[in-house]
Amino acid sequence: MNLKIYHIPALLQESVGGLNIRPDGVYVDVTFGGGGHSKEILKRLGKNGRLLAFDQDEDAYQNHIPDPRFTFVKSNFRFLKNFLRYHRIDEVDGILADLGVSSHHFDDSDRGFSFRLPGDLDMRMNRLSRKTAADVLNEYSEEKLSDIFFFYGELKSARKIATAVSAYRRSKKIGTVSDFLEIMKPFAFREKENKTLAQAFQALRIEVNDELEALEEMLFQGLEMLKPGGRFSVISYHSLEDRLVK
């Protein structure tokens, strides 16, 4: 898989530079993705340095870096502490997290992350997980859907969207991106269409992957595993992530 196609790392120099890397240090990239940040960290490590990289998506393993200093962990970063202990690491010098969705996910119509591409409403980061975005829309109560769209998507029309979902699924099961776009038509006005749809898809993605709970767990564990004077470099993309990080 071509790294450039998979994902272009955000704020590469700034985020890695912020770690103030020691050549013999131990570092963790909790969002490996295309491996861009990990490769930059390895460039700055000496022969005795070490890097562990986490990613729950099996696609990311295809970007595995053949380097004896590198260890790939196929897991959600919410299990950071457990896997560090498994690899006999008690503390680390730095942790890097590039939150959000990689361009690879948005560009793959089979994953259902983008409202711009047709496909099934999946949105699972880990495809071994059971719950998909379609499951959320078909099975959750109207009240719970309203909460998801309001709190995770920050949509003022959350309650009306939930009601529309409930009405739609009474006559037809929701299964595709096109189905959800049909439901969203009355709420995605032309001047704010892309923003509204992005917020609605974000809400579903956060729920499917339990993103905020996982992030909170990783942040607490990461702080616990950092050495005194260690660095934690986090790139966040929306206000919900930002509040937790700060």
Domain CATH for 191: 1.10.150.170
Q: Quick one: 92 and 127 in the same domain?
A: no
Longest Cα separation, the chain: 62
Task: Give the pLDDT band (50/70/90) at residue 6.
Answer: low
Q: Quick one: 201 and 191 in the same domain?
A: yes
Q: Is residue 104 part of a domain?
A: no
What tokens appear for 54 in the block?
């986490």
Contacts of 94 (CB under 8 A, 6+ apart): 19, 20, 21, 25, 27, 28, 226, 230, 231, 232, 233
Average pLDDT for residues 117-142, to the nearest whole number? Answer: 92
pLDDT in tens, 174-211: 999 999 999 999 998 776 778 999 999 999 999 999 99
Q: Quick one: 72 and 45 in the same domain?
A: yes
Number of domains in the chain: 2
Q: Quick one: 234 and 185 in the same domain?
A: no
Q: Is residue 162 part of a domain?
A: yes
Average pLDDT for residues 112-128, to the nearest whole number? Answer: 87
Average pLDDT of the chain, as a whole number: 90
pTM of the model: 0.88
